Amino acid sequence: MLIKKNISLKHLNTFGMDVKAKEFVSVESELDLAKVLAINSSNLLVLGGGSNMLLTEDPDALVLHINIKGIEVVSIFKNNIRVKVAAGENWHDFVSWSLKKNYGGIENLSLIPGNVGTAPIQNIGAYGVELKDVFISCEAMDIKTQEQRTFVKDDCNFGYRNSIFKEELKDKYIITSVIFELSTLHHKLKKNYGTIENELKNVRINNPTIQDISKAVISIRNSKLPNPKIIGNSGSFFKNPIISIERFKVLTNKFPKIPHYKFTESSVKVPAGWLIEVAGFKGKRIGNYGVHDKQALVLVNYGNASGKDILELSKKIQEAILIIFDIVLESEVNIL
C-alpha cells in the first residue's frame, strides 16, 4: 500500500477526464483501508468504478481507490443463496458470475458500469429492477473511527437513485462489501419493461431464461448507450424528474405526447431524455463533447473535453428545460 504522487485518473473515471491526483492510494483489503483512514480521514476522494462522477478539476484531496476483491456464497437456502461481494468487484463481472452459476435476480442490471461497493449509494436500477430488490445488507467502514458497521435494507432508505449514503451519511462511510440474495430455482423474471419484451420477440424467444434476459438487456443497452471504453460518458447524466399530477396536466395541454410513468398517487416521473430531445439537444456536438445521438440523457466526451465543458453543457440543458417545461432537472452524476 503505497501513496503515489501525481497520478492521472483518466482510466479510473468513465468520462475519461484527464485530471491528476496529487496523492493516490489503492487499497486491497479492509485492513489497508483502516490503516489509510487512521492517518488521513479528512479531505478524501473515494473512487470506486468512477462511473458516476464528473471530475471538473484536479482533486485537492487524497484519492482513495477501493480495490477490495472477492465473491463468496455465505448462505444456501432451498430456492436462494446469499452472496457476499467485495466493494471493488466490477458490477458487470459480478452479474456475469451469477449468470454462469445460474443465480437469478440481477440479469436486468447487466452491463451497468461501476463497482459493487458504489451500487447501493445510488440504488442502481434498469429495466424494472433496482439494487434494493436483491440487497440484504452491506458492511461499511466509519471514515472517522474505522469501525465496521452492518446496514440492513431498512437502514439504507433506498429511493429512486438514492440512499442514506447520498444523504445523511454522505462522506461518512465507505462500503466495503455487500450481501445479495439471488434465486437458484424458480427465477422470477422481470420481462415486462417494454423494450425487453420487444427484444425477446425479435429474437423469437418465448420462454426466456435469465441468460436470455441478460442478452436482451445487453443488446438494448448497446444500441442506445455509448460504451465508456470507446466514448467517455457516465450513463444518465440527469435523473428523470418527478412532478405533481397537477403540474403534469398543465404540461399535457402544451405537450400532449409527453411520456410519463406513475410514481406515487400524486406524482409522475417524466423521462428527462424526452425533454432534452424536444429541447433540441439530442445529438448536438460541440467540438469534443456533446449529447449522445441515441439517448439524450447521456452527455459524452468524444476526446479531450474537460469536465468544465461538460458541466457548462449540462447547465445550458438545465436552463432550457426550465424555460421550456418549467421543470428543474437534477444531475444524477456527482460533480467534483
The SS3 assignment for 292 reads coil
Question: Of 161, 221, 314, 331, which is the active-site residue?
Answer: 161
Beta strands in the chain (DSSP E): 4-8, 20-27, 44-47, 53-54, 62-66, 71-76, 80-86, 125-126, 129-130, 135-142, 148-152, 173-183, 232-236, 242-244, 261-264, 267-269, 285-286, 289-291, 298-301, 334-335
Nearer to ligand EPU, 104 or 143 (CB): 104
Nearer to ligand EPU, 113 or 307 (CB): 113
In the bound complex, what is the minimum distance in angstroms from residue 326's beta carbon to ligand EPU?
19
Which of the 8 DSSP states describes residue 132?
G
State the number of CA atoms in the 13 A half-sphere of 249 facing the CB. Answer: 5
Q: What angle do CA 179, 184, 190 make, to 5 degrees?
A: 85
In the bound complex, what is the minimum distance in angstroms from residue 225's beta carbon to ligand EPU?
6
In the bound complex, what is the minimum distance in angstroms from residue 274's beta carbon to ligand EPU?
3
Task: Return the sign of the alpha-carbon dihedral for residues 189, 193, 195, 198.
Answer: positive
Number of C-beta neighbours around residue 220 at 10 A? 19
In the bound complex, what is the minimum distance in angstroms from residue 201's beta carbon to ligand EPU?
17
In the bound complex, what is the minimum distance in angstroms from residue 271's beta carbon to ligand EPU?
3
Question: Of 23, 30, 89, 332, which is the active-site residue?
Answer: 332
- Is position 204 annotated as part of the catalytic site? no
CA distance 245 to 21: 46
| H or E element at residue 215 | helix 210-224
Question: Of 110, 236, 314, 331, which is the active-site residue?
Answer: 236
Nearer to ligand EPU, 35 or 190 (CB): 190
Burial 139-168 (b: 16+ CB within 10 A, else e): bbbbbeebeeeebeeeebbbeebbbbbbee
CA distance 107 to 126: 10
List interacting residues with ligand EPU (CB under 6 A): 126-127, 224-225, 235-236, 239-240, 259, 271, 273-274, 277, 282, 295-297, 332
In the bound complex, what is the minimum distance in angstroms from residue 90's beta carbon to ligand EPU?
16
Nearer to ligand EPU, 47 or 225 (CB): 225
- Is position 161 annotated as part of the catalytic site? yes
Closest residue to bound ligand EPU by CB = 235
Nearer to ligand EPU, 74 or 286 (CB): 286
Task: Return the sign of the alpha-carbon dihedral for residues 230, 234, 237, 242.
Answer: positive
Nearer to ligand EPU, 4 or 285 (CB): 285
- Is position 332 annotated as part of the catalytic site? yes
Instruction: Name the residues annotated as catalytic.
Output: 161, 236, 332
